[in-house]
Amino acid sequence: KYPALHITIIGGGYVGLVTGTCLAHLGHDVTIVDIDETKISAINSAVPPIYENGLSELLKNHIGKNLRASTEYTSVSEGDVIFIAVGTPPNPDGSANLSYIRSAAENIANQLVKQRTSYPVIVVKSTVPPGTTQNIVGPILASKLPKQSFDCCMNPEFLREGRAIDDFFHPDRIVLGTTDEQTLNIMKNVYSGLDAPVLTTGSTAAEMIKYTANAFLATKISFSNEIGNLCKQLDVDVYEVMKGVGLDHRISPHFLNAGAGFGGSCFPKDVSALAVLSEAAGVHPILLQAVLAVNEAQPLQMIRILERHFPDLKEKRIAVLGLAFKDNTDDIRESRSIPVIASLLDKNAVPVCYDPMAGENMKHVFPNVLYCNSAKEALKNADACLVMTEWPEFSQLNEEFDGMKFRVIIDGRHILTIPDAEGVCW
């Protein structure tokens, strides 16, 4: 059996919490550090502050044993490996805000300079612009610590919300951005419980791999949406087309689902950040900007289709099924339902919303719209219905639609199984 390591994770958000809990499950001794006391006490009581499939059970198994959370940086002193997994939210211009990364690096250095006896590996897990590990994190640590007393590695995550635990234990690859042999050995120990190809690169290439993977997946979606919009005009089923395209192993069938567009905390933010840094590097990002533009326009296609049925949407009752940015999560960040609801309100329509999990979160964005406890309730007397999220339960809907006033059903996710639903781009 591989040696268990002492690991500290800075940041108890989505990535830090999932990564820390899964590393504990691999047998390591893990401390999660966050400044948010409410979050820390929730984690220590084995109550995940976010919803993620399977996380609650894993937390219960490990918290108080080989997993704990703290607001203090003291565990950094004993750590073999310290992960930085803090947020990199977008600045107003779309670039990544690195202030949390900087303060995490400073706090680590301040702690290590006080007490450290042996040398840790400091791993950047957060999604950061190329060069951040080498030019920002490294120098902050080096300004306080003796040379040779630490080493930095960039190790991106590829976790999908809702499937993050499974993605952690069955990754397609593990990217280790370091050229130092000793650091590589320690990092291989961190993940030695997993069966996955390991790719070693420089830290800047590792940072670029993360942005590029997300930008490529987002490109596949926007590409499918543009082709879908054309297919709709030509009266061709884009799903049939993409099935035929995706069978080519060079393309793969994944992430070709046309519809309402992509949301979430990663794709919109990472593509914007990559576009901004590309412009700054003197390379005008024609393709990346087009990916974003297609995605901005896509949810409003649903309104356009709706207006073909009701040129005046005033006081029309529109059931909005799905508020989360995708299924299996309560996360509404960049959800495509947000621009759709905003547009409905703008046109004086009456959105009537339902989501199995995300209703409470959406109430913060739209406190004054109607929320229901079931799809059936939202559909009752509705003039039309818009499906915004690929929740599996929507594929079971059938007689619930009988309660509608008019049967205008627009499926933004290709999830309904009733024959008369209309697609956004098929």
Question: Is residue 214 a contact residue for ligand UDX (CB under 6 A)?
Answer: yes
- Is residue 266 part of the annotated active site? The answer reads yes
Window contacting ligand UDX (CB under 6 A); options: 137-145, 155-163, 357-365, 416-424: 155-163
Q: What share of the chain is helix, strand, coil (3-state, %, to 5)?
A: 45, 15, 40
Nearest residue to 8 (alpha-carbon basis) of 319, 19, 41? 19
- By beta-carbon proximity to ligand UDX, the closer residue of 317 and 414 is 414
According to DSSP, the β-strands at 121-124 and 81-84 are: parallel
Query: What three-state secondary structure class fits 318?
Result: strand
Q: What is the dihedral of CA 334, 338, 340, 342, to 10 degrees?
A: -140
- By beta-carbon proximity to ligand UDX, the closer residue of 53 and 107 is 53
Question: Is residue 269 a contact residue for ligand UDX (CB under 6 A)?
Answer: no
Interacting residue with ligand UDX among 12, 264, 322, 339 (CB under 6 A): 264
Interacting residue with ligand UDX among 16, 79, 171, 259 (CB under 6 A): 259
Segments of 52-171 assigned E as strands: 67-70, 81-84, 121-124, 151-154
Smallest distance, Å, CB 245 to ligand UDX? Answer: 12
Site for ligand UDX in 317-376 (CB under 6 A): 325-326
Window contacting ligand UDX (CB under 6 A); options: 38-46, 94-102, 198-206, 251-259: 251-259
Window contacting ligand UDX (CB under 6 A); options: 157-165, 185-193, 227-235, 341-349: 157-165
Helix (H) or strand (E) holding 352: strand 350-354
Question: Is residue 209 a contact residue for ligand UDX (CB under 6 A)?
Answer: no
- By beta-carbon proximity to ligand UDX, the closer residue of 157 and 383 is 157
Between the two ends of the chain, the Cα-to-Cα distance in Å is 53
Distances from the Cα of 405 to the Cα of 321, 351, 376, 378, 409, angstroms: 16, 14, 13, 12, 11
Question: Is residue 255 a contact residue for ligand UDX (CB under 6 A)?
Answer: yes
- By beta-carbon proximity to ligand UDX, the closer residue of 68 and 414 is 414
Spatial separation of the C-alpha atoms in residues 172 and 195, rounded to whole Å: 9
Question: Is residue 120 a contact residue for ligand UDX (CB under 6 A)?
Answer: no
Residue 131 is assigned to a ligand binding site:
no
Interacting residue with ligand UDX among 5, 23, 159, 227 (CB under 6 A): 159
Window contacting ligand UDX (CB under 6 A); options: 88-96, 180-188, 258-266, 355-363: 258-266
Window contacting ligand UDX (CB under 6 A); options: 153-161, 180-188, 229-237, 310-318: 153-161
Spatial separation of the C-alpha atoms in residues 221 and 154, rounded to whole Å: 27
Residue 210 is assigned to a ligand binding site:
yes
Residue 212 is assigned to a ligand binding site:
no
Question: Residues 266, 353, 372, 425: which is the catalytic one?
Answer: 266
Spatial separation of the C-alpha atoms in residues 22 and 28, rounded to whole Å: 9
Q: Which residues contact 423 (CB under 8 A, 6 or more apart)?
A: 228, 232, 238, 258, 259, 410, 411, 412, 414
- By beta-carbon proximity to ligand UDX, the closer residue of 101 and 159 is 159
Question: Is residue 263 a contact residue for ligand UDX (CB under 6 A)?
Answer: yes
Nearest residue to 198 (alpha-carbon basis) of 155, 141, 235? 155
Q: Which residues contact 81 (CB under 8 A, 6 or more apart)?
A: 5, 6, 7, 8, 120, 121, 123, 186, 187, 190
Spatial separation of the C-alpha atoms in residues 299 and 229, rounded to whole Å: 12
Interacting residue with ligand UDX among 73, 100, 150, 267 (CB under 6 A): 267
Known binding-site residue numbers for substrate: 158-161, 210, 255-259, 263, 326
Query: Residues forming the annotated binding site for NAD(+)?
Result: 34, 39, 88, 127, 161, 269, 333
Active site residues: 266
Residues that bind ligand UDX (CB under 6 A): 157-161, 214, 217, 221, 255-257, 259, 261-264, 266-267, 325-326, 390
